[in-house]
Amino acid sequence: PRVRGGGDSITTQFLEPIRMSLINLRHEYAAQAVLYPNLLPYSNVLVSDSSAVIVRQYMQHTLTDRLFAQPTLTEMMKMWILYQLICALAQLHALGRVHGDLKTENVFIVGGSEQVMLGDLGSFGIMKPVTLPAGEKASAVFSLFFATASGIAPPGGDLPGMDREISQRGYMARNRCYIAPERFCSDDGSSSGGGGLGVVTGEPVFSANQQRFDSFSLGCCTAEIFSADHSHTIFDLPDALRMHSLVRSGGRPDKESEAH
């Protein structure tokens, strides 16, 4: 559809600010790429009247894949991966950006050197909301913006033609939630993180205070990397809602959280 009296479609008008924000991030990165060796920004954003395509370099393996693969990572290799992940996050913050959806599916492993590349850059506040509802809409908003797999059988129930390990890995990815609890807003709109309720601004959102969102997610990734059993989710949406409730009520979960 097109706006009356205008030449651009509604789709183009809505997506153009997003496209420019991601392209600007790419230009900022390219100008000093040597300073950001662990970042993998989008290389292009193509927008038409009916669709939008985000382009980045193809990466074969994620950190999630590597944690399940053989040979098993040694403690030294895990520390090397974590060190690079910390560096990647510091590099992104140095660009004046917050990741907002840091998880092992967005971390790529390159070759036998176990080099780490952080992807899905520029989503925070541009393509994904800064804050999420903590009430009955929590699951729907989380599934729309942050869930990474669908149609995957739960543990104990495999999909036809799918390896059991891959089936359960996909279930974990779908339910994993490494979003900081302070990003959730209660029904009254209050949030310890600030910002609007599920608002996607189309513009980069950054403050030094919001770096703590990524720090929480980094802690969850660290726990997953060093976990002795990768068949269980470290932190999921119900956990995040319960922790949000504890922070909000001063240490006592409310009925809203208990319902989840």
The candidate with the shortest Cα–Cα distance to 198, out of 211, 215, 179, is: 179
Sorted by sequence, the CB contacts under 8 Å of residue 224 that are 6+ apart come out as 67, 104, 230, 234
pLDDT at 26: 83
In a domain, 45, yes or no: no
Number of folded domains that form the chain: 1
Cα maximum dimension of the chain = 63
In a domain, 44, yes or no: no
Q: pLDDT per residue over 87-97, tens digit each?
A: 999 999 988 88
In a domain, 10, yes or no: no
In a domain, 231, yes or no: yes
- Single-letter amino acid code for the residue at 67: L
Q: pLDDT per residue over 4-23, tens digit each?
A: 445 555 566 667 777 777 78
Whether 101 is catalytic is: yes
pTM of the model: 0.78
User: If you count them, how many residues does the chain have?
Assistant: 260
The rounded distance, in Å, linking the Cα atoms of 12 and 47 is 7
In a domain, 12, yes or no: no
Sorted by sequence, the CB contacts under 8 Å of residue 206 that are 6+ apart come out as 96, 97, 98, 124
Output the domain CATH number for residue 252. Answer: 1.10.510
In a domain, 191, yes or no: yes
pLDDT at 158 over 90: no
Q: pLDDT per residue over 195-245, tens digit each?
A: 433 445 555 566 777 888 999 999 999 999 999 887 778 899 999 999 998
In a domain, 168, yes or no: yes
Give the structural domain span for 99: 58-259
Active-site position among 8, 49, 65, 101: 101
In a domain, 15, yes or no: no
